[in-house]
Amino acid sequence: MRNPRLWLPLLVFVALAAAPFLGLGQGHSLTLLARGMIFGLAAVSLMLLVGGAGLVSLGHAAMMGMGAYAVVVLDHAGLTEAWMVFPAGILAAALFALLTGAIAIRTSGVHFIMITLAFGQMAFFTTSSLAVYGGDDGYTLFSRTEVFGARWLENRLVFHFVCLGALVACWALVQTLLESRFGRVLRASRENETRARALGFNPTPYRLLAYVIAGAMGGLAGVLLANATEFVAPAYLAWQRSGDLLFMVILGGLAGPHGALVGALAFVLVEEWLSHAMEHWRLVFGPLLILCVFFLRGGIVGLLRRG
């Protein structure tokens, strides 16, 4: 997974950095790109679970939701400083991941999928019932997160590069983790758990740790998402959003974390384009998804490599 494979992700990062100056600098485009990068971050973290540990989580949207609602809770209390909000969001998600992961990781296969789905649903319903934070209708932030009182994040360009920075950092982290000793144990356990155990490895603590790390990164994405939309609703935790995230991961292909990023960008762009093109765009999106699963094994990245 070394040098030759880095050209694609680096190309994507450079393109994202240059985009605002290459004609995509209007508010609407920047918002779209931010959305793409934020979901890219979440998808990259999910890839650590799916591609690395072999854990198909159908509840990753809840991790984003934890981060987003941490912003809400602090905003409601009048606290908007970045040095409080970012760690709070990340820790909230990590804690949720630890508590639910402790149960979920003891299972595998379809059990794990269903349990993560269930916990995600639990989080969804809980946020829906908290009227003080808007309940079903959602919560509008009083302001974006501030940096020592300065409202830098309200500048779209600044926000663009904050998101990009976070994305690159998380991508690098996942890439590094996968190649480390820790990642090697995860990957071996995914492919042949019996062999890993016969060597002396108990996969459970490694998987739980991966789950918490992925959750924490999801929380970071959630904090950024709250800032991007300045609005948070339980819908952010809907299981359909978890399904979207899984689709992004598989769309890109599991060769490396950059696949998830490419998948997320493609997803966000296609969704945007389709939803403007027709009212019932899901009529097309659904079958598109099915066709991708049928024919696009290896994802977009796989296609590019072959082509």
Q: Where are the alpha helices (DSSP H) in 48-108?
A: 60-76, 82-104
Nearer to another protein, 28 or 197 (CB): 197
Residue 305 binds another protein (CB under 8 A): no
Encoded tokens for 61: 């949207």
Using DSSP, how many helices (H) and how many strands (E) does the chain show? 13, 2
Residue whose C-alpha is closest to residue 33's, from 25, 277, 260: 25
Residue 46 binds another protein (CB under 8 A): no
Which stretch in 3-11, 82-90, 106-114, 153-161 sits in contact with another protein by CB under 8 A? 106-114
Size of the site for another protein (CB under 8 A): 68
Q: How far is the CB of 284 from another protein (least distance, A)?
A: 9
Residue 109 binds another protein (CB under 8 A): yes
Q: Which of 79, 91, 130, 266 binds another protein (CB under 8 A)?
A: 130
Give the number of other CB atoms < 10 A from CB of residue 71.
28
Nearer to another protein, 227 or 242 (CB): 242
Encoded tokens for 198: 């016969």
Give the number of other CB atoms < 10 A from CB of residue 193.
14
Residues in region 168-227 near another protein by CB under 8 A: 176-177, 179-185, 187-188, 191-192, 194-202, 206, 209
Nearest-angstrom CA–CA distance, 42 and 63: 9
Residue 300 has, within 13 A of its CA and on its CB side, a CA count of 19
Residue 58 binds another protein (CB under 8 A): yes
Which stretch in 21-29, 121-129, 215-223, 261-269 sits in contact with another protein by CB under 8 A? 121-129
Contact assessment for residue 92 and residue 66, using Cβ atoms and an 8 Å cutoff: yes
Residue 255 binds another protein (CB under 8 A): no
Determine phi and psi for 140, rounding to 5 degrees: -95, 125
Task: Look up residue 155 and give its DSSP letter.
Answer: S
Nearest-angstrom CA–CA distance, 53 and 20: 36
Q: How far is the CB of 94 from another protein (least distance, A)?
A: 15
Which chain residues interact with another protein by CB under 8 A?
Answer: 2, 50, 56, 58, 100, 103, 106-107, 109-111, 113-115, 117-119, 121-122, 125-126, 128-132, 176-177, 179-185, 187-188, 191-192, 194-202, 206, 209, 239-240, 243, 246-247, 250, 280, 282-283, 285-290, 292-294
